[in-house]
Structure 1
Amino acid sequence: MSKRIRKAVFPVAGLGTRFLPATKAVPKEMLTVVDRPVLQHVVDEAREAGIEHFIFVTGRNKGVIEDHFDIAYELEDTLKRRGKAKEYDALVADLPAAGATSFTRQQAPLGLGHAVWCAREIVGDEPFAVLLPDMVTLGNGPKQSRCLAQAVEAYEAHGGNVIAVEEVPPEETHQYGIVSVGKDFGAAFEITGMVEKPPRGTAPSNLMISGRYILQPEIFDILAKGEKGAGGEIQLTDGMVTLSGSQAFHGVRFDGKTYDTGSKLGFLAANLAFGLTRPDIADGLRAEIAKLLG
């Protein structure tokens, strides 16, 4: 029987240069989609999937992330004294349990694979999830689970390693990591190959790696070798390709939509999409959109 997925790694050391000057003093992960930081949306998704321990791989000037997942005594006291019970309850509901968060430092920007490797001592010898903090997901329909929950279901059915994927237009495949498709199991499929940003016209499919992974701990031994790939960085995809030589990988087609909030267009689209799911503002937002398009 497969070990349960209890821990998740969030690589949050990036500089966010595509959002300067907004990210000069505010980490890109703390920019808001509606009224919640991008990173909070991703942590919410992990919680929904049953994650119990949240591991943040940070960099310099990211202290506000640690503060966000801590008690804010003055703020909470002020809310209670002013009778703002709804706001206070929302803060408390978002607060992780004591000891459920860990923070470690990626001291140099050596790539996603290196960031994941930095969490090795905290993860230990058990399978774990990785969630890219730029990518926020919405399931289809009001009760549809988000991406990581669907990946966990595939892991529980097949074991091994799982990568969430999503369709992209064929003309955009050169921008993403792309998988090759083997035997299909319905909700999941066998992955027979992976390639990072294939040249135009050479992609083995139109299924992009969408930023949600479930990996076995043997990936750490591979990443420890420090072999550099695209961009002169230690790439997680390269490590997974090596691991696939000895372990099974399955893909799960995410039944929903992923928004890349690391791009300006994706960030704006995420705000609209999440705003339209909110009963308190959806009607007003639709009216404002209609005015802008009018």
Structure 2
Amino acid sequence: MEVKKAIIPVAGLGTRFLPATKSMPKEMLPIIDKPVIHFVVEEALASGIDDIIFVTGRSKRSIEDYFDGSPELEMHLKQHKKHDLLEKVQDIASLADIHYIRQKEPKGLGDAILRAEKHVGDEPFAVLLGDDIVVNEQPCTRQLIDIYQKYGRSTIAVKEVPKEKISSYGIIKGKPLDHSLYVLEDIVEKPDVDKAPSNIGAIGRYVFTPEIFNCIKETSSGVGNEIQLTDGIRNLNRSQKVYGYKFNGTRYDTGDKVEYVKAIINFALNNENMKDNILEYLQDVLASKNNA
């Protein structure tokens, strides 16, 4: 079956960016003039997905507002003949068929995905975490879909992670099929470095068969007293193969402050209207630091 649906969990509290995220969802933090979540939705659409389910929390209303129409703003732009901006604003409201499901309390990523089970039904689906941006000519999610269509099994995006970051990821043990594809033998949520099965971690992109829902239901509370998606994947791997794919592309974890700043700088350097000014500024900053 074609993968036409995507779940984007956005109910997390964003504590790493407090106090900013006290009133602003972390997914709405801007990368220059577009919020992070806009890039995530664009990746889903570019991967051939046309049905998106946001799993939200009660503090995430601004995400719904962002992807909705804005009559007052549109009227203002029209009256002032700002047609380019008007077109951009109107395009956002017509990006995709978007639905919203509320996760009433933050019980973990596995629980968030379960909220969307009735909408997904018995179809394969993608999961894109709302604070990860992956940049590549072929979208990361599309790469996973291609692997799924070849093997007919769930596929998760993985990458090598630094030693000091291992305890922040679901870490896989995998049997290599080639330089970029693994058959999962195990996956462990946020292990201690000395107990980790490898240095290859799952990042925020997945394609699942619908059997994942029952596998999540079979899990008990795990790390952080939450229903962990990693534990659901572990259960799924007992009944059918799961693949890990080393995706092509540059990934920014915008929930991390340093990665967020890197994302802004790199997007600015790839903007022809900004590149020269930003480069000049960065060179001036480096020169002043070296002379200090």
Q: TM-score normalised by the shorter chain: which range applies?
A: over 0.9
1:242 and 2:240 matched = no
Q: Deviations over 1:209-258 (max 9, x none)?
A: 11100011111122234511111110000001001111111111121221
CA distance in 2, matches of 1:105, 1:188: 35
CA distance in 2, matches of 1:61, 1:170: 34
Divergent runs of 4+, >6 A: none
> Does the 8 Å contact 2:219/2:231 carry over to 1?
no
Identity percentage over the alignment? 43
Where do 5+ consecutive residues of structure 1 fail to align?
none
- Paired residue type of 2:86: Y
Tell me the CA shift for residue 181 of structure 1: 2.2
> Does the 8 Å contact 1:138/1:146 carry over to 2?
yes
| Equivalent position of 1:283 in the other structure | 276
Q: CA RMSD in A?
A: 1.6
1:274 and 2:272 matched = no
Cα 1:170/1:226, change in 2 over 3 Å: closer
Q: How does 1:1-294 map to 2 (within 5 A)?
A: 3-96=1-94, 100-139=97-136, 144-225=137-218, 227-294=220-287
TM-score by length of 2: 0.93
- Paired residue type of 1:102: H
Tell me the CA shift for residue 8 of structure 1: 0.6
CA distance in 1, matches of 2:140, 2:13: 25
Q: Which has the higher helix share?
A: 2
- Paired residue type of 2:38: Q
Cα 1:96/1:158, change in 2 over 3 Å: farther
Tell me the CA shift for residue 101 of structure 1: 0.8
Tell me the CA shift for residue 13 of structure 1: 0.8
Q: Deviations over 1:255-283 (max 9, x none)?
A: 12211111211111111122222222122
Tell me the CA shift for residue 170 of structure 1: 3.5
> Does the 8 Å contact 2:12/2:106 carry over to 1?
yes
> Does the 8 Å contact 1:181/1:190 carry over to 2?
yes
Tell me the CA shift for residue 187 of structure 1: 4.7
> Does the 8 Å contact 2:8/2:54 carry over to 1?
yes
Where do 5+ consecutive residues of structure 2 fail to align?
288-292
Tell me the CA shift for residue 52 of structure 1: 0.5
